[in-house]
Structure 1
């Protein structure tokens, strides 16, 4: 990303909106937005580090409620929520932080929720696991702030490998959605 160009474009946008970019409250806005964009769109240059694995096996590994923030590619407004990932290892497991990084890699882009969910599942499945389930639940400010102005939330899902068969995924989805462990 060319931060200097982003700053110039934001300054031009402020002018087009009818504001004065030299006004006290707006003087640093182009730089702040350029810094913010560098952070929230860092997914284009992120490595999820899924190649780091540990020898271990399990019937299912579930990581629930990974928080994410993304930007809708249609209106460039935020959508945010939680992603839960389940996978069936094939002799090797991933560190939990790697799955969080995987979510961030795809969330920190101009995005739609359905593609983000699919891309997370595809990349994890490509690592040789037997199956993957990705469920994402999100609120979309493009729907809350404009247009229909509704508080509906959206859920999207992706199933790969052994979890493409409905009978293989029901228990795992129940573990994600309903089962609460006492810690």
Structure 2
């Protein structure tokens, strides 16, 4: 069991050490080290504090499962963000719409999930379409605020591609709003981050918003 945990932690640390979240491919970033043994003990203490019957057959392995689940949810998956010269001189928006994602609310440790719409206006470099989805996942695997997730994706694209413009819209349901507190299931939070021409030029901004809205 301990060897499995140590292996999991080592793999996680290695993945974080090669983390491209700062715009490089891959790049060093501060590693979050997960102590699965300590996390399991903390989960067991939480269950006990909540009055759960820890000797129940259904709860006996729950602390271990909780620790491993959070470690997985908080482990970003590194990737090679290869860019290419814009040899065709493409100068219109590139948009990938309805990218599904899930993340964890930094305030309550409850999930929030939804879709992201990511666009950029190419300059001299372009990037593979699948990488726009990977960038969303890269930042979603963290204890997050939706506002920060949105700006992180936009800033990463700016740093990596130096495009003429960037547009990111994120729509998500937060379980901390759906299951507790105000208890409004189905309510969506929408955040946006606009950069360059997409922000400054009203026609380009409207084109981006119209493309996102198509099919709705």
Query: Taking structure 2 as the reference length, what is the TM-score of the superposition?
Result: 0.77
Give the corresponding residue for 2:7.
none
Structure 1 runs, 4 residues or longer, greater than 6 Å off: none
Contact kept in structure 1, 2:101 and 2:140, CA below 8 Å: yes
Give the corresponding residue for 1:109.
142
Distance 1:177 1:94 in 2: 23
Q: Does 1:53 align with 2:83?
A: yes
Change (3 A) 1:162 1:26: same
**Higher relative contact order (Cα pairs below 8 Å, separated by 6+ residues):** 1
Unaligned runs of 5+ in 2: 1-33
Give the corresponding residue for 1:125.
158
Give the corresponding residue for 1:17.
50
Residues matched between the structures, number: 177
- Cα deviation 1:51-103 (Å, max 9, x = unaligned): x0122342111101110101111111111000010101112211122111110
Distance 1:170 1:47 in 2: 33
| 1:148 equivalent among 182, 193, 212 | 182
Change (3 A) 1:41 1:159: same
Contact kept in structure 1, 2:198 and 2:208, CA below 8 Å: no
The within-5 A match list for 1:1-183 is: 1-43=34-76, 46-47=77-78, 49-50=80-81, 52-56=82-86, 57-58=89-90, 59-127=92-160, 128-151=162-185, 152-165=187-200, 166-178=202-214
Structure with the larger strand share = 1
Q: Aligned-pair distance for 1:161?
A: 1.1
RMSD: 1.5
Distance 1:23 1:179 in 2: 49
SS class of match (2:58):
helix
Distance 1:117 1:177 in 2: 18
SS class of match (1:42):
coil
